[in-house]
Amino acid sequence: MSVNSDDPDYLAELYLLQLEREKLNTWEKIKLAIYDADRGEIFGKDSRRWVLAAMSLSFWWIFSLTLNPRTPKHLTSDSLIGTNPGLGFRPSPSTEDNVLSSLIWFRGSNASYSFWIQNLIKFLDVYKKPGQTPGQGQNIHNCYYNQPPSPGQVCFVDVKMLGPCTEENFFMYDRASPCIILKLNKIYGWKPKFYTDPNRLPNDMPFDLKNHIRDLANSSDQATRLELNTVWVSCKGESPADAEFIGPLKYYPKQGFPGYFFPYENSEGYLSPLVAVYFQRPRTGILINIECRAWAENIKYRQKDKQGSVHFELMID
């Protein structure tokens, strides 16, 4: 058959061929779809198109061999997340009515605060059963500042160290002294630069946190000084009134995320470190605006868009 599409004879021949094919039964049409001798096609493609398809598949197969399934293609500054981790908090307000809600609101009755308790129980479930994570928990290591994890290992997060902020204590919601759990958002390969020099602390860092860092730096015990390798956190009322109503706070197991959890490398079984903030005596009947902030030399803070921090509201009736 001629292959010149401008040739009238070719067009006439193509038309007659199409008429003949319309008379074929179903089985004949199936066989023709598999192999068309007149057009030299197999499954609708001629030899040239099959070669191109094979080359394309070969290219993607070779390219896939260069990728590590646990390593993102774009890292830190080249990634969509960037290099500045933010904070997340739990329990999470319901998004059914308002996806932008950040209000934790409850009354003194069990029916009111049970939602928040169940939210925290669900969030902490994987921490209580680390063997259910990928790897079956076989690479989990009990870490400390002088015992960082070896390559391929991840650090154990012991939720029993969250002080009174436990399921057995109803996370203190039954006593109108709720616990809020903070976590640092994961960024692959990000390494914190710790505040290790007590003479170079930010002016806006809370006074009590500055004193704690200075005490660590001035310690004669080397193991204690290693605790400077921490991404610190602090929470406060956003306005002077909020600061008055928020009441005293305690942090468990410590006021920050230990440095041995970083960098995050998507290892099997990795769980983010946690800080439980215990609001001991917040004022009831008042909406309290709260900001919690992460502290490291390479965590940029900007209140306008909550970089390096998280905002939520607390109201207890």
Per residue in 263-298, pLDDT (tens digit) is 999 888 899 999 999 999 999 999 999 999 999 999
What is the tens place of the pLDDT at every residue in 206-255? 999 999 999 999 999 999 999 999 999 999 999 999 999 999 999 999 99
**pLDDT tens for each residue of 27-50:** 765 665 566 666 666 656 667 776
**Predicted local confidence at residue 84, as pLDDT:** 92
For the chain, the DSSP string reads ----TT-HHHHHHHHHHHHHHHT--HHHHHHHHHEETTTTEETTB-HHHHHHHHHHHHHHHHHHHT--TTS-SS-GGGSSS-S---EEEESPPP-SS-TT--EEEE-SSHHHHHHHHHHHHHHHHHHH-GGGSTTTTTTEE--BTTBPPPTT-EE---GGGSTT-SGGGGGGGGGT--EEEEEEPP-BT--------TTS--TTS-HHHHHHHHHHHT-S-HHHHGGGSEEEEEEEESSHHHHHHS--EEEES-SEEEGGG-SB---TT----EEEEEE-SPPTTS-EEEEEEEE-TT---BTTTTBTEEEEEEEE-
Neighbours of 85 (CB within 10 A): 25
pLDDT reported for residue 61: 58
Q: Is the pLDDT of residue 69 over 50?
A: no
pTM recorded for the entire structure: 0.75
| Cα dihedral sign, 216-217-223-227 | positive
Write down the domain spans for the chain. 8-65, 76-194+229-316
pLDDT, tens digit, 9 for 90 and up, residues 256-270:
999 999 999 988 889
- Name the amino acid, one letter, at 181: I
CATH class of this structure's domain 76-194+229-316: mainly beta
Count of CA atoms in the C-beta half-sphere (13 A) of 186 = 12
Mean of pLDDT values over 89-98: 76
pLDDT attached to residue 80: 42
More confident residue, 314 or 109: 314
* pLDDT of 70 higher than 50: no
